Amino acid sequence: MKKVDERFLEYVKIDTKSNEDSQTVPSTKGQLELGKILVKELLEIGMTEASIDDKGYVYASLKANITADVPKIGFISHMDTAPDMSGKDIKPQIIKNYDGNTIVLNKDLNIELNPKEFPELKDYIGKTLITTDGTTLLGADDKAGVSEIITAMEYLINHPEIKHGDIKVGFTPDEEIGRGADFFDVKKFGADFAYTLDGGTIGELEYENFNAAGAKITIKGRNVHPGSAKNKMINSMMVANEFIYLLPKDEVPEKTEKYEGFNHLVGITGTVEETKMEFIIRDFFSDKFDEKKEQFINAKNELNRIYGEGTVTVEITEQYRNMKEMVEPVIHIVKTAEKAMEMAGVNATIKPIRGGTDGARLSFMGLPTPNIFTGGENFHGRYEYVVIESMEKAVETILNIIKIYADK
């Protein structure tokens, strides 16, 4: 049997960074490459019906070895890595028996993983960490989840004395660009409920996430010679600044936590003639989410009143909703995951996801899907790392969930 970290180190060799500008599905060829490798591996360990479709979705099944009527359980992770930073030529570093001091990721570039900046490192003294070399992300989000699911399946197959019902496995493309559930075939998958392995710190268990929308703002200006511009010029960049000022100044990511929502400016380009801005809008509560969207409309209306109708246009697109309302009717799936972690010696921490996962959309597609930790930290950048012992506990948690339902 392969160890979970051995699988992980193999998978990160493949560049699966998704691309939000691509119109193909999946958005990058590397995801198809990894998907085909995973299908081959799933068949080799004894899974049945393992396949990859033309859009890069991987599905596999493990038939029940008991006749009792137990739920069909799914486990899902995504294959792509974030477009925020390079996922090519990843050079993982293994830090054994971590001593709690600063880890030099790249001596030549003076890049360090410092516990003063990342105090959670102190929680992993004595553990084995896999880090980057400071020039790429690592890919623990979510190749750690992929590794954990396949490792759990291989263990289950090699230990037929462990009783289980039907198990379903799915690996999705393009989660990092918000398209992971676009073409997921819930009916084909065939599970009664599922778990995404897409969380971070050991013990994380999540069934609430942000309501999410994207906002695109276009501001039209009027350019004339600056020497004779009085009462004539409309500088679209300055109007953009006014737009930002009309939004609540403290409702931004760097000033919010826990159940607080935010408006996040993620991009801005401009000239005097035209400025474009992109925001993401996030809130856990539907009423506050609607208020945030209304703030954008009010800002548009106020600036159009001042500068003329059509100066500012706002396009808001909803992205996903809070899965809580879909999971609460089957809250036993959360309670079971909590018990499974406790059986593994892990303290479960139920907390909201300050983001989204495939599970958020899948829950509204009829597949309730809370989220479980993978053991990674600092996703999407050069300071990303994963703890091998935490990955092993994620594998154990998967197996415990399966055992609990088989024993009912």
**Residue recorded with tokens 């479960």:** 348
CATH number for the domain including 59? 3.40.630.10
Q: By CB neighbour count within 10 A (0-12 exposed, 13-18 middle, 19+ buried), where does 23 fall?
A: exposed
Q: Which of 41, 80, 141, 176 is catalytic?
A: 80
Domain check: are 200 and 273 in the same one?
A: no
| pLDDT tens sequence for the chain (408 residues) | 899 999 999 999 999 999 989 999 999 999 999 999 999 999 999 998 899 999 999 999 999 999 999 999 999 999 999 998 888 999 999 999 999 999 999 999 999 999 999 999 999 999 999 999 999 999 999 999 999 999 999 999 999 999 999 999 999 999 998 899 999 999 999 999 999 999 899 999 999 999 999 999 999 999 999 999 999 999 999 999 999 999 999 999 999 999 999 999 999 999 999 999 999 999 999 999 999 999 999 999 999 999 999 999 999 998 889 999 999 999 999 999 999 999 999 999 999 988 877 899 999 999 999 999 999 999 999 999 999 999 999 999 999 999 999 997
Q: Is 69 a catalytic residue?
A: no
Domain check: are 154 and 73 in the same one?
A: yes
User: What 3-state DSSP class applies to 112?
Assistant: strand
Domain check: are 101 and 150 in the same one?
A: yes
Last residue of a domain, one of 320, 344, 372: 320
d(CA 263, CA 95): 38
In this prediction the pTM is 0.88
Number of Cβ atoms within 10 Å of the Cβ of 54: 9
Domain check: are 190 and 91 in the same one?
A: yes
Domain check: are 64 and 22 in the same one?
A: yes
H-helix or E-strand spanning residue 195: strand 193-199
Domain that holds residue 350: 4-208+322-407
Write the DSSP symbol of residue 177: G
Domain check: are 105 and 141 in the same one?
A: yes
Q: Which of 174, 175, 206, 251 is catalytic?
A: 175
Domain check: are 115 and 63 in the same one?
A: yes
Domain check: are 400 and 300 in the same one?
A: no
Last residue of a domain, one of 300, 320, 340: 320
Domain check: are 231 and 258 in the same one?
A: yes
Q: Is 166 a catalytic residue?
A: no
Domain check: are 8 and 69 in the same one?
A: yes
User: What 3-state DSSP class applies to 361?
Assistant: helix
Q: By CB neighbour count within 10 A (0-12 exposed, 13-18 middle, 19+ buried), where does 218 fall?
A: middle
Instruction: Name the β-bridge partners of 112.
Output: 104
Domain check: are 266 and 326 in the same one?
A: no
User: What 3-state DSSP class applies to 97?
Assistant: coil
Domain check: are 173 and 91 in the same one?
A: yes
Counted domains in the chain? 2
CATH number for the domain including 280? 3.30.70.360
Last residue of a domain, one of 292, 320, 348: 320
